[in-house]
Chains A and B, each alone.
Chain A
Amino acid sequence: MIPSAFEYHRPADVKSAVGILHEQGDEARVLAGGHSLIPMMKLRMAAVTHLVDLQDIAELKIIKVAGGKVTIGAMVTQHSLINDPGLAAAAPLLREAALQIADPQVRYCGTIGGNVANGDPANDMPGLMQCLDATLTLAGPDGTRDVKARDFYEAAYVTACEDDEILVSVSFDAPKGGYAYEKQKRKIGDYATAACAALIEMDGGKCRAASISMTNLSDTPIWSKAAGAALVGTACGAENIANAVAAALADIDPTEDNRGPVAFKMHVAGIVIKRAITRAIACA
């Protein structure tokens, strides 16, 4: 399988990359790890006339953990993310989830930015970014702007990122409390049938804060405000958890595909959400 021909660009900085995108419009695409885009190009489902490879842009590869704030460059690979001790300490949720993405070869190439910006509802990082209430920084011809991850996703493959913008980095406050990422998949390398990220803070036996998000259960990642609200202020007993699961399920809209019919997905979602919340409480 050979994709259609394209011009290859390998700019050395963000400004040049944005310049190429601005000049070429929607005929240009950026290439990060390539493990979503290249298969689509080989199947000729993505037509790209100008391919802008970001691999030489050093400023996109930074990992910064300081003063309780985490910033990760868009070109940081899942492999680097997993093996960064500072990041593992500051945001163990992210490491736990990254280890469940694809397989080792794909994690060497796949980047956090590609995963976040592609807009594929099956990708794991979008839901995680929403759970962490991350800010996404985009660079365009007029400079940079910030968009909250919870406002970024509009529909499958449709995001707030314009054709001439590049995701530069994601940043968030290092989370406190308990965490869990539960993912049900048919086999290694598959996308989630259902996945759920949970962050829960307990204080004196009561839940102080809770953030619950879900992956591949709607045409965008879903952060369920109601699920978190069902836990805050409670002792997080069985009934409170059941209420949170019910609230989360009310916020999703899965579709039937080769991973199963809607009823099955709702069933699996209920289980992974409950497991994620329960485990996050246990380590809070």
Chain B
Amino acid sequence: MSKMHLKLTVNGKAEELMVEPRELLIHVLREKLNITGPHIGCETSHCGACTVDMNGKSVKSCTVFAAQANGADVTTIEGLSPHGEMNVLQNAFREHHGLQCGFCTPGMITRAHRLLQENPTPTEEEVRFGMAGNLCRCTGYQNIVKSVLAAASELNAAKEAAE
């Protein structure tokens, strides 16, 4: 089967490469573009470790063909802190022990980023519901929820201060 010409934007940078349509987005990101923030966990769309932002939606990149992402705008965990400094969510996860082994963390933070874009003032229940597609085997989720809520407060305080 023939390869296809894939054009997409990843973390603000235009990328062009040849792929087989059957290649998965996570493989293209990790193996062709060396963007290894999103992880391969279950590879069956359950765990959420491969979560990236695609056209403003959180998606599990193990369950998206590269071909489907043709023309898409993709943001990974790398794109959330483009200058190498920790962003508010990342700092909140460190501050509140929102991770232990760290394997799920890129997916968690990428998902939490989109959740807070859509709902800047979530309740604890809304955070739990909105993060339900990401599994963590270390923390028991308590501190992840705490981290996301803390980041939301900080982002809202910063927004208010700016107004």
Q: Which residues of A contact B (CB under 8 A)?
A: 1-8, 10, 31, 34-35, 38-39, 41-42, 51, 53, 55, 79, 102-106, 108-109, 188-189
Task: Determine if A8 and B58 form an interchain contact, defined as CB atoms under 8 angstroms apart.
Answer: no
Q: Among A3, A8, A79, which residue has its beta carbon within 8 angstroms of that of B4?
A: A8
Task: Determine if B64 and A34 form an interchain contact, defined as CB atoms under 8 angstroms apart.
Answer: yes
Q: Once A and B bind, how many residue pairs between them come within 8 Å at the CB atom?
A: 84
Looking across the interface, which residue of chain B has its beta carbon closest to that of A99? B129
B57: which A residues are within 8 A, CB to CB? 79, 108-109
Looking across the interface, which residue of chain A has its beta carbon closest to that of B68? A53
Looking across the interface, which residue of chain B has its beta carbon closest to that of A105? B133
CA of A31 to CA of B22 in the docked complex: distance in angstroms? Answer: 13
Q: Among B46, B67, B133, which residue has its beta carbon within 8 angstroms of that of A53?
A: B67
Q: Among A3, A51, A53, A106, which residue has its beta carbon within 8 angstroms of that of B60?
A: A106
- With A108-B59, A109-B59 as given contacts, are A6 and B111 in contact (CB-CB < 8 Å)? no
- With A2-B23, A8-B21 as given contacts, are A55 and B68 in contact (CB-CB < 8 Å)? yes
CA of A34 to CA of B129 in the docked complex: distance in angstroms? Answer: 22
B21: which A residues are within 8 A, CB to CB? 5-8, 51
A42: which B residues are within 8 A, CB to CB? 43-44
A106: which B residues are within 8 A, CB to CB? 45, 60, 133
Task: Determine if B43 and A104 form an interchain contact, defined as CB atoms under 8 angstroms apart.
Answer: no
- With A39-B45, A105-B60 as given contacts, are A189 and B68 in contact (CB-CB < 8 Å)? no
Residues of B in contact (CB 8 Å), total 32
Q: Among B1, B63, B133, which residue has its beta carbon within 8 angstroms of that of A38?
A: B63
Q: Which residues of B contact A (CB under 8 A)?
A: 1-2, 4, 20-24, 27, 43-46, 48, 51, 57-60, 63-65, 67-68, 70, 111, 115, 129-133
Task: Determine if A31 and B68 form an interchain contact, defined as CB atoms under 8 angstroms apart.
Answer: yes
Looking across the interface, which residue of chain A has its beta carbon closest to that of B130? A104
CA of A189 to CA of B45 in the docked complex: distance in angstroms? Answer: 10
- Identify 11 residue pairs between A and B in the complex whose beta-carbon atoms are under 8 Å apart, listed by A's number: A1-B44, A4-B22, A5-B20, A8-B4, A51-B67, A104-B129, A104-B130, A106-B133, A108-B57, A108-B59, A189-B132
CA of A1 to CA of B64 in the docked complex: distance in angstroms? Answer: 13
CA of A102 to CA of B44 in the docked complex: distance in angstroms? Answer: 13
CA of A7 to CA of B70 in the docked complex: distance in angstroms? Answer: 15
CA of A42 to CA of B25 in the docked complex: distance in angstroms? Answer: 13
CA of A105 to CA of B108 in the docked complex: distance in angstroms? Answer: 12
Task: Determine if B111 and A105 form an interchain contact, defined as CB atoms under 8 angstroms apart.
Answer: yes
- List 9 other contacts, CB 8 Å, given A53-B67, A105-B59: A2-B27, A5-B21, A6-B21, A34-B68, A35-B63, A53-B68, A104-B111, A108-B59, A189-B46
Task: Determine if A8 and B65 form an interchain contact, defined as CB atoms under 8 angstroms apart.
Answer: yes
A7: which B residues are within 8 A, CB to CB? 1-2, 21
Task: Determine if B58 and A39 form an interchain contact, defined as CB atoms under 8 angstroms apart.
Answer: no
B9 to chain A, nearest CB (A): 17
A104: which B residues are within 8 A, CB to CB? 58, 111, 115, 129-133
Looking across the interface, which residue of chain B has its beta carbon closest to that of A102? B133
Looking across the interface, which residue of chain B has its beta carbon closest to that of A79? B57
Q: Among A2, A35, A188, A189, which residue has its beta carbon within 8 angstroms of that of B24?
A: A2
CA of A106 to CA of B20 in the docked complex: distance in angstroms? Answer: 24
Task: Determine if A6 and B23 form an interchain contact, defined as CB atoms under 8 angstroms apart.
Answer: no
Chain A CB count within 10 A is highest, among B22, B44, B46, B48, for B22
B63: which A residues are within 8 A, CB to CB? 34-35, 38-39, 109
CA of A188 to CA of B130 in the docked complex: distance in angstroms? Answer: 11
Task: Determine if B22 and A105 form an interchain contact, defined as CB atoms under 8 angstroms apart.
Answer: no
